[in-house]
Amino acid sequence: MNKERYFTRKKLDYSDSEIEEFSKSIFDQGYIIIENFFTTQTINKAKKYVEKTSNNFDLKSFSIRGDDMTDNILLDLKNSKDLKSFFIRILESSNLKNEEDENIHLVLRKCHSETNNRDSNKYHFDAYNLTLSMVIEPAIPNKRTNKLGNFYLHPNIRKFSSSLPLNIFIKLIFQNRLTRAIFKSKRMRDLFGFKEVVNTSSGSAIIFFGFRSIHGNDELSDNLSREVALFHYNDPFRNNWFIKKIEENRDKRNKDYYFEKNKLKHE
């Protein structure tokens, strides 16, 4: 029986020099893009799962964690030993420690112009040191569109840290209504040194240090949508009870908004 191949690069067997170059580029540029990182078969299966989930909830926009998903290709990727090994090698090349029992955290997002305003321009830091954004379906431009939900980030604006008080202080400064209102303006994003990651192709991987980089997405023009799966790894506070309690409350609020408010049940 043939084992399904998820990545175009077999077993993600990049050489040590390639991994070092990836790490260096993330430090210097803020991110890397690997085109055709995922196989066409993997992307097609991911698209089918997104469509199925969207139909089940009768929602054009949604966000769902891996823990709340049914069996699908994205969970297979989340549990992939090859992907975890790839993450570990990048972290080690970046002189970051990680524990063997750490798991990959998965979030699937579909954004549509009708409801995207709730989640767009909410610039934030990730709770995990390393983030890979899997482009399932980018927004397809046409003559009437000018906003494609492009990805913006101010790379490596803070250092890696395991200090919880410092982490809370920085998030209070950057993740509030005032700063998000400021960063909503492209002119202000340019002024503050944000980088725009142009609309990448389906199957691409955008890899960056989510913990260090404040980032988010622009709005979508009418009738456009985009689909991404986010794979996070290496949580510096994964054993902290206070952070876990915050995450539990946040996840509950997200479920309340997407599902209970719409009086829909997960099938």
- Over residues 93-121, the pLDDT tens digits come to 999 888 778 999 999 999 887 665 566 78
pLDDT at position 91 over 70: yes
Q: What is the mean pLDDT of the chain?
A: 85
pLDDT at position 254 over 60: no
pLDDT at position 262 over 60: no
Averaged pLDDT for residues 256-261: 49
For residue 128, give the nearest of 212, 184, 54 by alpha carbon: 212
Q: What is the side-by-side order of every strand in the sheet holding 205-208?
A: 31-34, 205-208, 130-137, 225-233, 105-112, 62-65
pLDDT bracket for residue 56 (50, 70, 90): confident
Domains identified in the chain and CATH numbers: 10-260 (2.60.120.620)
pLDDT at position 11 over 90: yes
The torsion angle over the Cα atoms of residues 257, 170, 231 and 245, rounded to 10 degrees, is: -50
Read off the pLDDT of residues 182-238 as tens digits, 9 standing for 90 and up: 998 889 999 999 998 876 899 999 999 999 999 998 888 777 889 999 999 999 887
Q: Are 51 and 122 in contact (CB under 8 A)?
A: no
Structure tokens at 263: 């009086």
Structure tokens at 63: 């966000």
Residue 144, CA distances (Å) to 148, 217, 220, 222 in order: 11, 20, 12, 9
- E strand segments, the chain: 31-34, 62-65, 105-112, 130-137, 151-154, 195-197, 205-208, 214-217, 225-233
Q: Can you tell me the distance from the alpha carbon of 200 to that of 239, in angstroms, rounded to the nearest whole number?
A: 35
